Structure 1
Amino acid sequence: MLELQGVSKAFGGHRAVDGLSLSIERGRITGLIGPNGAGKTTLFNLIAGAMKPTEGRILLDGTRIDGLRADRIFKAGLARTFQIPRPFPEMTVLDNVLLAPAGQLGESVLRAWLTPGAVRAQERRLRDRAMACLDFVGLARLAQDPARVLSGGQRKLLELARVLVAEPSVILFDEPGAGVAPALLDTIVEKIAALNRDGVTILIIEHNMDLVMGLCDPVVVMAQGRLLIQGRPQAVQSDPRVIEAYLGGVAA
């Protein structure tokens, strides 16, 4: 579903991602782990279009996406969440979700004037879809509240709803468990698993090893910008190279 071929990203003389080749299988939950500084977030930025690779190719379902703008990649069906969600605090929870869908007719003054019926019909459909996404993540009761009232975990659920309203085929999760209370973490894990059962391909950066080992298969390990190992969770966890990377100071 997602293929990286010799991807590198250099910042001056430092190669944050260094000739990395990787295939993400369709319909799986793949975990991406590694020590701090291993290049994981840079890799996410390259895949999602926030950065352009210095070298290499990135393919989504067989089509090259490296070098495309982030909005083009989003429209192609690849979405991401962020470690620290930043919703628009004074907008309602529902309106935050309604920002995401592409191609909204009401964004064009001409269309809104010439075809108001079509604009209203689309707005109703999108509102229904957004409410369904909020219901899925358990935030429907807060739909009309300002996003500033949400806890950190609830903001991550809001970000998930905002991603889902666009109906992506691939989602990149950047540390969904970071700073989340245990009860909400269980909810987030449950929602990720449910999305995967519905056919969404998922790639997760996460430092919570219990989450990774219980949810992801396969697990990919990066160190110093390179692919260290990829395999089943139990095999990866006990591999001497992984232990050395975390405990032996391999990461930059």
Structure 2
Amino acid sequence: MTTADAGPPPVLSVRQVSKRYGGLTAVDAMSFEVRPGEILGLIGPNGAGKTTMFDLVAGSVAPSSGQILIGKDDVSRESAHRRIGRGLARTFQIPKPFPELSLLENVLLARQGQAGEQLFANFLMPGRVRAQEAAAREKAMELLDFVLLKRLAHEPARVLSGGQRKLLELARVMMAEPAIILLDEPAAGVNASLLEVIIDRIRAINETGVTFLLIEHNIDMVSRLCHRVLVMASGQLLCEGTPDAVSQDPRVIEAYLGGAA
């Protein structure tokens, strides 16, 4: 099993996790740990099992065997919604905001634990509900400003480009105040100028102490952002290390150029 060096306990642990679909093993006894405050990359050739591993961590699918822990808590059978409540949130490779809602409304929908979500609170505690709604609106506007979309706050999400939708997705995730963010190919479909903005915003969020686990095919982005990289091939952990180290590992070169699935 891959373990972190001596230091703070991991914020996320994957222990001998496998996922089988009939006779196909998509993830085969994967183990790794995510350290607090790091940006950890997960890379590998097409068909390596990265997306399945990501879905297992996010709670979209349940493992066939093994354990997934957030901190010390086993969340292997918990839903994605429950994991959000534990501080783990994710973005998607293809963001799907509500197209007819404004950017502000899309971000507000991600707010957790609002008193106004409970019917009777609106009658019994109207002052508290109004105060929370005002605070949420202010927070949402701050996040839209942070991702450089404040000028479009009241525009419908359908007007956004692909890169802008990635930025909106980042604002929506941050609205839930997560401790860990799973990023699913943040560079996919993004032009060069907006990619620089996304990289800069991820770094800025990470500097506040938020931990990241990201899947990405853009190796340049991985090398610029990630403190450590995991490489998967054929559903298994092939190697791990710094971006420079894994890029020179003969096993990684063989996996990418030798056609490992």
Answering whether residue 134 of structure 2 is matched by residue 112 of structure 1, we say: no
Structure 1 equivalent of residue 132 of structure 2: 122
- Deviation readout 1:221-250 (Å, 9 max, x if unpaired): 001110000001111001110011111111
Q: Distance in 1 between matches of 2:80 and 2:67?
A: 16
**Partners of 2:173 and 2:99 in 1: how far apart?**
17
Cα deviation, 1:163-203, whole Å, max 9, x if unaligned, reads: 00111110010000001010000000000111111111111
Report the equivalent of 2:247.
237
Q: 1:147 Cα shift? A: 0.3
Which position in structure 2 is the counterpart of 1:177? 187
Aligned to 1:225: 235
- Choose from 153, 166, 171 the match for 1:143: 153
Q: Does 1:100 align with 2:143?
A: no
TM-score of the two chains, using structure 1 as the length reference: 0.98
Consecutive unaligned residues in structure 1, runs of 5 or more = none
Quote how far apart the aligned CAs of 1:11 are. 0.7
**What TM-score results when the alignment is normalised by the length of structure 2?**
0.95
My pick for the range that moved more, 107-116 or 172-181, is 107-116
Give 1:116 shift.
Answer: 1.3
Runs of 4+ in 1 over 2 A off after TM superposition: none
CA RMSD of aligned residues (A): 0.8
- Which sections of structure 2, spanning at least 5 residues, go unmatched? 1-10
- Quote the residue 1:33 is aligned against: 43
Corresponding residue number in structure 2 for 1:209: 219
Q: Please, which of 24, 44, 47 is the counterpart of residue 14 of structure 1?
A: 24
What is the number of equivalent residue pairs in this alignment? 251
2:18 and 2:168 map into 1 onto residues whose CA distance is 32
Q: Structure 1 residue 107: deviation in Å?
A: 1.9
- 165, 168, 175: which one aligns with 2:178: 168
